[in-house]
Amino acid sequence: MRRGFLLALLLSANHAFSQGVQSLPPLPANTYTNAVQADASGNIYVGGEFVLNPQDPNAPAHAFVGKLSPDGSQILWWTVLQGSDADQVVAMALGPDNSVYVTGTTSSPDFPTTPGAMQTAESVANQAFAVKLSPKGTVVYSTYIGGSASTTGNAIAVDTAGHAFITGSLSGALPTTPGAITGATSASYNTAFVIELNPAGTAALVAINGFGGDAIALDARGNIYAAGSFAGPLAPTTSGAFQTSSSQLTCDSLGFFGAFPCTYQHIAKIDPTGTQLLYATYVSGTWGATPRGIAVDSSGNAIVAGTTNSPDYPTTGRGYQPEYAASPEPQSAALDFFPPQSAGYVTKLNGSGTGLLWSTFFAGSGCVVVALGSGSCASGDNIAGMAVDANGNILFAGLAYSTDLPGLWMTPVASRPTFTNPLNFVARLSPDGSTLSPTQLLPSSTDAGGLAVRADGTAIFASPLASASFSTLGRVAAIADSADNAKIVSVAPGQLLTLYGTDLAPAEPAYPPNGFPPTFNGVTVTFNDIAAPILYTSATQINLQVPYEIAGQSQVTIEVSSLFVSPAVSESYILAVVERQPSVFVWPGSFSQPVFDAAACNGQSIAGLQPLAFNADGTLNSCTNPAAADSAVTIFLNGLGVTVPAQVTGMVSSSLTAVSPSAAPLYPYQATATVLATDTLPGSVSSLAQVRIQVSSTSSYLNIPLEVQDASTAFLVRGPGILIWVQPESEPRP
């Protein structure tokens, strides 16, 4: 295979506290903040719970709402919402006059309600509440929500007329308004409700069962967008919806001690009267998803963010991180007690609910390992809150366990989260979901997601109370693995990288004519002052090889210099150094369509990416050109690290040479594929390896998780597996 052809396939285009974080003065002792908002003047509003007597282990927590000065140094007012039992504020919204609307849950039979409110007495032990406070912090109205049903208040929105919209979970049935639509119902599991209160809090204008539960938003026409997660195919969907059904799996976080159904993200658009379902769709993968925030843009497109355990959660090539970062264990075993580890997601659904404008994961590969020696992950990175700024950027917050959490280019390795030291984060995506600002880490490991954004774009995080600003991106907008286009914050010796950005080099795409020099087209990239071989340059992309000489170091500073553009580029970033970071080169169309598109290939949706794979006859493997059963298919690996025999930085391989460590199927007992050889590729840069895999299957595809095996350590190849299409012997070739 000619060098130029291969490079065109593999390397061409289109493929401590963070510096911006400032802790705000602490709130009164024994106070926990769940919700936060900011007004146009920058004042901060907080809500949550506090304990009067922390020495008493049985002392209940009580709800509060407060207003702080913009720097958090002064409490402008502080209002306690206290019954005789536990109460907590969970969510908050500001009205146009800076009235404060809150919802939460109370166990108090004497929670302070106001005369004439919709429901002044508690009917069951736990019920949601809604409270409106004036701009000065006095209670305007306070009401229970639920009738005779047990409820929790989880999210709230308010329109310009002062109507409050609350959603939460529901056990039983809420009294509904005439003609109200009905959503998910279940005798076994909680469902959800949506309720609209009039400005006086004396009556429900709309009350609906079975929609929402986790997040709620409004558009300019007063349509209601309710997001939640439901067990099984319980919630209705509309004709032409993006996803009309869900799976019915068990997501068991307690192993032998209890089984629970997975819950699947459901999004509904409801007309202002609550009597018409404008659209309803699932947006979920096999193992479910849970939304933690929703917003609506001026065109009626819904943006949702949350956490999923599904490697096949629907993403698109336009998203920042289309591929699931971890490598889950096989989910087909008879005794399968745990779902794959969690990951955050952000998704933008079109205005008709029929398709995705873009969708992305947001997670690294770290996780918390469950007990019982299973090796499975109890949890991974998650998103717990979301806000949208005035420019349409999406800000989101959560808890991270991953040293390779996306966006940590400015964070020293020693300050990054780990599975033993998780940290909260705040991140920001561009309105089109393709560009990430440097991720900011917060000085805490609380599993909370209260988040607000000021007019200047500064994020305010609820717990602990802190602000986070986002610096303007430099000319380098992303650092990616050249194989699968994954945006990375760590590198392995010899790994091929792609830098994406604007005006990075002279516009005309160019390959060095002879070898791979340390400077080309005015571009020089160094790793701890060691120059990297340059493989390709253009205005938007630089491809390079990480020097092997960084082996053994814990982190490197990458310096990017480009002299033949105006203004010249001079930027630096921090990357962790790992021993190996194997990934598979994907075929060029992998990110040009929805990554898990059931209609893309014979109606099948599989958790994996299509690699750049060649059949034994040299043709590209695909669903329309499958490999013959028992034949050999060739794929290409990046990120093997230092090998035996050792490769040399910037050198071109001259012969087919077997290298160690080699690739192997992660689960050989499945007996679906055998790795025949892992070799260098003659005529290509030294770190590129080719892997020949003999395939044997009775199905039309193989999903093969791979690992790279050292003598004592295995390194998982990124992602849930590679897809190789195979022609079953019993079927005719297409």
* Residues 11, 496 contacting (CB under 8 angstroms): yes
What is the number of residues in the chain? 734
Last residue of a domain, one of 213, 244, 278: 213
pLDDT at residue 252 tops 80: no
Please write the tens of the pLDDT for every residue from 94-133. 999 999 999 999 999 999 999 999 999 998 989 999 999 9
Of the candidates 547, 498, 541, the one whose C-alpha atom is nearest the C-alpha of residue 687 is 547
Q: Which residues contact 378 (CB under 8 A, 6 or more apart)?
A: 253, 338, 341, 367, 368, 369, 370
Phi, psi of 564 (to 5 degrees): -95, 25
43 and 11 housed in the same domain = no
* Residues 639, 581 contacting (CB under 8 angstroms): yes
pLDDT at 604: 53
182 falls within a domain: yes
pLDDT at 597: 52
227 falls within a domain: no
Looking at the structure of the chain, the number of domains it has is 2
| 34-52: average pLDDT | 96
**Which DSSP string do the residues of 319-359 spell out, in sequence order?**
SS--S--S-PPPS-SSS---PPPPEEEEEEE-TTSSSEEEE
Strand, coil or helix: 480: strand
Secondary-structure breakdown of the chain: helix, strand, coil percentages, each rounded to the nearest 5:
5, 40, 55
Centre a 10 Å sphere on the Cβ of residue 677 and count the other Cβ atoms it contains.
16
Domain of 105 in residue numbering reads as 20-213
Q: Which residues contact 267 (CB under 8 A, 6 or more apart)?
A: 225, 226, 227, 280, 281, 282, 283, 291, 294, 302, 304, 349, 353
30 and 9 housed in the same domain = no
pLDDT at residue 697 tops 90: no
Q: Give the pair of three-digit tokens for residue 359.
A: 């969708």
8 and 54 housed in the same domain = no
Q: Give the pair of three-digit tokens for residue 443.
A: 């000085």
* Residues 216, 155 contacting (CB under 8 angstroms): yes
56 and 190 housed in the same domain = yes
7 and 45 housed in the same domain = no
| 482-495: average pLDDT | 95
Q: Which residue has the tokens 């580029």?
A: 569
70 and 142 housed in the same domain = yes
**Which DSSP string do the residues of 509-551 spell out, in sequence order?**
-B--SSS--SEETTEEEEETTEEPPEEEE-SSEEEEE--GGGT
pLDDT at 289: 95
Percent of the chain at pLDDT > 90 equals 69
pLDDT at 527: 98
| 600-612: average pLDDT | 65
pLDDT at 10: 44
Of the candidates 282, 242, 281, the one whose C-alpha atom is nearest the C-alpha of residue 262 is 282
| 483-489: average pLDDT | 93
Amino acid, single-letter form, for residue 224: I
d(CA 374, CA 337): 9
Of the candidates 466, 464, 456, 344, the one whose C-alpha atom is nearest the C-alpha of residue 407 is 344
252 falls within a domain: no
195 and 67 housed in the same domain = yes
Phi, psi of 445 (to 5 degrees): -135, 35
d(CA 93, CA 153): 13
Please write the tens of the pLDDT for every residue from 137-195. 999 999 999 999 999 999 999 999 999 999 999 998 899 999 999 998 876 678 999 99
513 falls within a domain: yes
Residue 255 CA, chain-centre distance (Å), reads: 25
* Residues 689, 639 contacting (CB under 8 angstroms): no
CATH code, domain carrying 571: 2.60.40.10
Last residue of a domain, one of 213, 232, 267: 213
**Bridge partner residues of 89 (DSSP):** 104
Which segments within 172-301 are labelled E, that is strand?
191-197, 204-209, 215-218, 224-231, 263-270, 277-282, 289-296
Angle among Cα 167, 171, 174 to the nearest 5 degrees reads: 60
10 and 81 housed in the same domain = no
With 0.85 as the threshold, say if the pTM is over it. yes
Q: How far is CA 578 from CA 369, 426, 683, in A?
A: 21, 25, 27
pLDDT at 624: 84
Using CB atoms within 10 Å of the CB of residue 530, give its burial: 0 to 12 exposed, 13 to 18 middle, 19+ buried: middle
DSSP letter assigned to residue 71: T
491 and 566 housed in the same domain = yes
* Residues 439, 416 contacting (CB under 8 angstroms): no
* Residues 285, 596 contacting (CB under 8 angstroms): yes
Using CB atoms within 10 Å of the CB of residue 561, give its burial: 0 to 12 exposed, 13 to 18 middle, 19+ buried: middle
| 244-255: average pLDDT | 73
28 falls within a domain: yes
Please write the tens of the pLDDT for every residue from 568-603. 999 999 999 999 999 999 877 666 666 655 445 655
Last residue of a domain, one of 195, 213, 231: 213
d(CA 293, CA 306): 7
pLDDT at 175: 94
Of residues 541 and 447, more confidence is placed in 541
Phi, psi of 452 (to 5 degrees): -135, 165
8 and 140 housed in the same domain = no
512 falls within a domain: yes
572 falls within a domain: yes
Instruction: Provide the pairing of β-strand 627-628 with 722-727.
Output: parallel
9 and 135 housed in the same domain = no
130 falls within a domain: yes
| 611-624: average pLDDT | 91
pLDDT at 602: 58
Residue 554 CA, chain-centre distance (Å), reads: 26
| 350-375: average pLDDT | 82
Please write the tens of the pLDDT for every residue from 443-473. 777 777 899 999 999 999 998 899 999 988 8
* Helix ranges, 365-483 (H): none
pLDDT band at 731 (very low <50, low <70, confident <90, very high): low
Q: Which residue has the tokens 């990124």?
A: 718
194 and 138 housed in the same domain = yes
pLDDT at residue 678 tops 80: yes
Strand, coil or helix: 277: strand
